[in-house]
Amino acid sequence: MQARDRLIVAADLSSRDEILALADEMHGVAGVLKIGPQAFVANGPGLIREVVARNVRVFLDLKLHDIPNTVAHTVAEVSKLGVAMLTVHASGGPAMMRVAAQSGGGPPRSVLILGVTVLTSLDDDELRRVGFARDSLSTAVSLAKLAQESGLRGVVASPLEIRAIREACGDALTIIAPGVRPAGSDQGDQRRTMTPRDAIAAGADYIVVGRPITEKKNRRDAAVRIIEEFA
């Protein structure tokens, strides 16, 4: 994998035109464009088809969490769109993850299903109030192990949890880390961040960066600088 393939740019925007403009600017610079519920609800699956038609790899970050039957049918529909990656919540359980892994289609158009471990916005106190007995680090590691045992080939985790997950799950598991901030840039609402270089050094296969790129005047330059930082 080339360095630029490791950069996932979060297109947290509503406007179809702005998202397509970002896709065009990132073409040949960043490997993947992440499209979440905001853009998906605002524009529908037609937008995904338009981005895919531009030969941009799409990470559809819908974070599904439902009964296995519903997730299986949803994943099957997503796989028809030609996206490269899709998220489900690992806390949806092993049966849900197993059917998600089985419904992502086969090569050459198989979807990499990723299990979201612990949301980076949850602190240990909130995690306990939700019903998890342990802290975010051990919860993330056990959810990553569960995701792997349930047939998922990748997880999403805070950069601070990458090293422990890598040790527990080995090299075959794909780890994607959001909450990444280039040195000296605005944290925004992210609390537990790491620089791109540190996240990759800790064992992340991909990093997700949104606002430090999308809010810049020259977004292409901002993306190139981030890639240079960890390459």
**Nearer Cβ to ligand C5P (44/188):** 188
The size of the interface with ligand C5P (CB under 6 A), counted in residues, is 14
Q: How far apart are CA 226 and CA 201, in angstroms?
A: 14
**Nearer Cβ to ligand C5P (113/156):** 156
Tell me: does residue 12 bind ligand C5P (CB under 6 A): yes
Q: Which stretch binds ligand C5P (CB under 6 A): 19-27, 67-75, 126-134, 202-210?
A: 202-210
Per-residue binding letters, 151-170, with ligand C5P (x by CB under 6 A): -----x--------------
The end-to-end CA distance of the chain, in Å, is: 11
| DSSP one-letter string for 10-39 | E-----HHHHHHHHHHHTTTSSEEEE-HHH
Q: Computed from CA positions of residues 165, 169, 171, 177, in that sequence, does the dihedral angle turn out positive or negative?
A: negative
Q: Is 80 designated active site?
A: no
Tell me: does residue 10 bind ligand C5P (CB under 6 A): yes
Structure tokens at 218: 């020259």
Smallest distance, Å, CB 9 to ligand C5P? Answer: 9
Q: How far apart are CA 39 and CA 15, in angstroms?
A: 7
**Nearer Cβ to ligand C5P (76/192):** 192
- Bridge pairing between strands 112-116 and 154-156: parallel
| DSSP one-letter string for 118-162 | S-TT--HHHHHHHT--S-HHHHHHHHHHHHHHTT--EEE--GGGH
63, 80, 145, 217: the catalytic one is 63
Tell me: does residue 178 bind ligand C5P (CB under 6 A): yes
Structure tokens at 155: 């997880």
Tell me: does residue 28 bind ligand C5P (CB under 6 A): no
Among 188, 218, 221, 228, binds ligand C5P (CB under 6 A): 188
Smallest distance, Å, CB 69 to ligand C5P? Answer: 25
Structure tokens at 211: 């606002």
C-alpha of 192 from chain center: 16
Window 54-113: residues binding ligand C5P (CB under 6 A)? none
Q: Which residues bind ligand C5P (CB under 6 A)?
A: 10, 12, 36, 119-120, 156, 178-179, 188, 190, 208-211
Catalytically annotated residues: 63
